[in-house]
């Protein structure tokens, strides 16, 4: 029987990984059951607002969220479908940085973190963090009204 290798171990060994995020915290960029994310090892490079990182909550699960800001006391993160900022996290809790993602499970269209449209949309969405709840409510009302 093959040994189960942890995600953290693979990243520490310098290997890129592909994961299928679960949950809805990164919606609308990641859709559960469809999106496949490519994560590169975090090697101590400068962390910046807007980057998506894979980290482990203390004594808990691996999470992939976007950096809201980096402070003197650590890194603050937020899911794309959330308004509450989490942190501070220590850099040692970060294992990887997203290189890009596939929008579909068949890996037909890769979107790099350097794609200008992705960069623009992710910056705008991060800026709109305080208003996300209202935006989501409006979208749901429009969908109900449209019969979707």
| pLDDT for the residue numbered 5 | 63
> Which pLDDT band, with edges at 50, 70 and 90, does 3 fall under?
low
Largest Cα separation within the chain, whole Å, is 53
| The most confident of 20-29, 70-79, 132-141, by mean pLDDT | 70-79
Task: Quote the CA–CA distance of 54 and 36 in Å, as a whole number.
Answer: 13
The pLDDT assigned to 1 comes to: 45
CA distance 115 to 2: 37
Question: For 52-104, how does the pLDDT look when each residue is reduced to its tens digit (9 = 90+)?
Answer: 999 999 888 899 999 999 999 999 999 999 999 999 999 999 999 999 999 98
Tokens standing for 71?
């402070």
Three-class SS state of 112: strand
* Pairwise CA distance, residues 128 & 53, whole Å: 20
**pLDDT for 146:** 80
Model pTM?
Answer: 0.87
Three-state SS at 132: helix
């Amino acid at each position: 029987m093959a040994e189960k290798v942890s995600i953290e171990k693979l990243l520490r060994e310098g290997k890129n990984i592909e994961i299928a995020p679960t949950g809805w915290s990164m919606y609308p960029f990641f859709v559960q059951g469809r999106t496949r994310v490519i994560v590169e090892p975090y090697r101590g490079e400068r962390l910046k607002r807007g980057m998506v990182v894979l980290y482990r909550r203390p004594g808990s699960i691996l999470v992939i969220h976007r950096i809201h800001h980096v402070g003197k006391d650590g890194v603050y993160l937020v899911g794309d479908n959330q308004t509450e900022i989490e942190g501070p996290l220590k850099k040692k809790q970060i294992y990887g940085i997203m290189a890009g993602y596939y929008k579909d499970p068949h890996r037909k269209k890769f979107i790099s973190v350097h794609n200008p449209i992705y960069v623009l949309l992710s910056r705008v969405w991060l800026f709109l963090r305080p208003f996300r709840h209202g935006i989501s409510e409006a979208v749901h009302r429009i969908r109900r009204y449209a019969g979707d």
